[in-house]
Amino acid sequence: MREVICIICPKGCHLKIEENASAESGYTVSGATCERGIEYGINEVTNPVRVLTSTVKVEGADLIRCPVRTDGSVPKGKIFECMDQINDVTLHAPVKVGDVVIEDIAGTGVALIATRDVEAM
Ligand code: SF4
């Protein structure tokens, strides 16, 4: 049995996920007050994913780092590989919100994008 807090909405329901061979998904989720929580609970034990936020180096600007995030969820098991790629990137100002920083981070099919404008010096 796994216990997790649902992070889909601010309510933060406490979920308990138990294996159940007779359930279609193979699991029973208790503590969820909506369907999205049930789906989240099952994903947490089968294929946990996260939207990753971080910063990358930027040159030619007053700011030395630019905030970034993935534009979708990446598997938790790929997060260290993603961070290695993020640490290797250097942007050159100007940067615009939504600029693609890495097209396919760690082979996940998900892009890394800038989340703020950075003006050139
Ligand atoms: S189970 Fe539903 S209501 Fe509860 S935190 Fe998750 S999304 Fe929100």
Q: Is 119 within the bounds of a domain?
A: no
Q: Residue 68 is part of a domain; what is its CATH number? A: 3.10.530.10
pTM beyond 0.95: the answer is: no
The domain containing residue 81 runs over which residues? 53-114
Same domain for 101 and 73? yes
- Of 61, 67, 63, 52, the closest CA to residue 106 belongs to 52
Q: Is 120 within the bounds of a domain?
A: no
Same domain for 35 and 78? no
Ligand 1 proximity of 36 Cβ (cutoff 6 Å): yes
- Tell me what pLDDT residue 2 has: 95
- Tell me what pLDDT residue 107 has: 97
Same domain for 72 and 31? no
Cβ partners under 8 Å of residue 10, min gap 6: none
From 36, 40, 42, mutation site for ligand 1 pocket: most ligand atoms within 8 A of C-beta: 36
Q: Is 37 within the bounds of a domain?
A: yes
pLDDT averages per 10-residue partition of the chain, 121 residues: 95 97 95 97 94 97 96 95 97 98 98 97 91
Rounded to an integer, what distance in angstroms lies between the CA atom of residue 49 and that of residue 46?
10
- Tell me what pLDDT residue 51 has: 95
- Tell me what pLDDT residue 114 has: 98
Count of structural domains within the chain: 2
